[in-house]
A and B are shown apart, each in its own frame.
Chain A
Amino acid sequence: MPVSLKDEAAIAGIGLTEFSKKSGVSELSLAAQCIKAACDDAGVSPSEIDGLVTYTLDSTDEIEVARAVGAADLSFFSRINYGGGAAVGTIAQAAMAIATGQASTVVCYRAMNGRSGKRMGQGVSGEITSSDLIHWSWYMPYGMLIPGSWIAMIANKYMHKYGVTREDLGRVAISQRNHALRNPRAYGYGKPLTMDEYLQSKQIAEPLCLYDFCQETDGGCAILVTSTERARDLKQRPAVIRGVTQASTRGQEQMTSYYRDELLSLPEMELAANRVYAMSGLGPDDIDAACLYDAFTSEIIMQLESFGFCGVGEGKELVREGALDIDGRLPNNTHGGLISEGYIHGMNNIAEGVRLIRGESTGQPSKAVAHVLVSSGVGVPTGAMILGKAD
Chain B
Amino acid sequence: MSARIKPPMGLDNAWWWQMADAGKLGIQRCRGCQTLRHPPRPMCGECHSLEWDAVEASGRGVICSYTVLRHPQFPGYEYPLIIILVDLEEGTRVTSQLVGCAPEDVDFDLPVEMLIHEDPDGFKLPVFKLAGAA
Residues of A within 8 A of B (CB): 121, 123, 125-129, 131, 133-146, 149, 152-154, 156-157, 160, 202-207, 256, 258-259, 263
Please determine whether A206 and B103 come into contact, CB atoms closer than 8 angstroms. yes
Given A143-B77, A259-B92, check contact A206 B67 (CB 8 Å): yes
Please determine whether B95 and A133 come into contact, CB atoms closer than 8 angstroms. no
Query: Can you list 10 contacts pairing A with B, beta carbon distance less than 8 Å?
Result: A128-B8, A131-B10, A133-B8, A138-B7, A142-B83, A143-B77, A153-B95, A160-B65, A160-B108, A259-B39
Please determine whether A140 and B5 come into contact, CB atoms closer than 8 angstroms. yes
Determine how close the nearest CB of chain A comes to the CB of B26; give it in whole angstroms: 12
Task: Determine the residue in chain A with the shortest Cβ distance to B3.
Answer: A141
Residue-wise interface mask of B (5-22) relative to A, using a CB-CB cutoff of 8 A (1 in contact, 0 not): 111111011000000000
Task: Determine the residue in chain A with the shortest Cβ distance to B96.
Answer: A142
Cα(A203)–Cα(B97), bound, Å:
19
Please determine whether B39 and A141 come into contact, CB atoms closer than 8 angstroms. no
Most buried by B among A126, A129, A143, A259: A143
Determine how close the nearest CB of chain A comes to the CB of B98; give it in whole angstroms: 10
Given A138-B39, A259-B93, check contact A145 B5 (CB 8 Å): yes
Please determine whether A153 and B85 come into contact, CB atoms closer than 8 angstroms. yes
Please determine whether A141 and B4 come into contact, CB atoms closer than 8 angstroms. yes
* Cβ–Cβ < 8 Å partners of A138 in chain B: 7, 13, 39, 95
How many inter-chain residue pairs (CB < 8 Å) link A and B? 111
Please determine whether B70 and A204 come into contact, CB atoms closer than 8 angstroms. yes
Cα(A232)–Cα(B70), bound, Å:
52
B101 at the interface (CB under 8 A from A): no
Please determine whether B39 and A143 come into contact, CB atoms closer than 8 angstroms. no
* Cβ–Cβ < 8 Å partners of B66 in chain A: 153, 156
Cα(A137)–Cα(B10), bound, Å:
10
Please determine whether A134 and B70 come into contact, CB atoms closer than 8 angstroms. no
Given A133-B8, A134-B13, check contact A143 B93 (CB 8 Å): no
Contact partner, A121, options B4, B10, B72, B83, Cβ 8 Å: B72
Please determine whether A126 and B8 come into contact, CB atoms closer than 8 angstroms. yes
* Cβ–Cβ < 8 Å partners of B95 in chain A: 138-139, 142, 144, 153, 256, 258
Contact partner, A149, options B65, B67, B108, Cβ 8 Å: B67
Residues of B within 8 A of A (CB): 4-10, 12-13, 38-39, 64-72, 74, 76-77, 81, 83, 85, 92-93, 95-97, 103, 108, 123, 125
* Cβ–Cβ < 8 Å partners of A128 in chain B: 8
* Cβ–Cβ < 8 Å partners of A123 in chain B: 74
* Cβ–Cβ < 8 Å partners of A129 in chain B: 8-10
Contact partner, B6, options A141, A146, A206, Cβ 8 Å: A141
Q: Which 6 A-B pairs have the closest CB atoms?
A: A137-B7, A152-B67, A157-B65, A143-B77, A206-B68, A140-B5
Cα(A125)–Cα(B5), bound, Å:
7
Please determine whether B72 and A146 come into contact, CB atoms closer than 8 angstroms. yes
Please determine whether A206 and B70 come into contact, CB atoms closer than 8 angstroms. yes
Contact partner, B71, options A127, A135, A204, Cβ 8 Å: A204
* Cβ–Cβ < 8 Å partners of A157 in chain B: 64-65, 108
* Cβ–Cβ < 8 Å partners of A143 in chain B: 4, 69, 74, 76-77, 81, 83, 97
Contact partner, B65, options A134, A139, A154, A203, Cβ 8 Å: A154
Contact partner, A141, options B5, B68, B92, Cβ 8 Å: B5
Determine how close the nearest CB of chain A comes to the CB of B87; give it in whole angstroms: 10
Determine how close the nearest CB of chain A comes to the CB of B92; give it in whole angstroms: 7
Please determine whether B71 and A126 come into contact, CB atoms closer than 8 angstroms. no
* Cβ–Cβ < 8 Å partners of B77 in chain A: 143
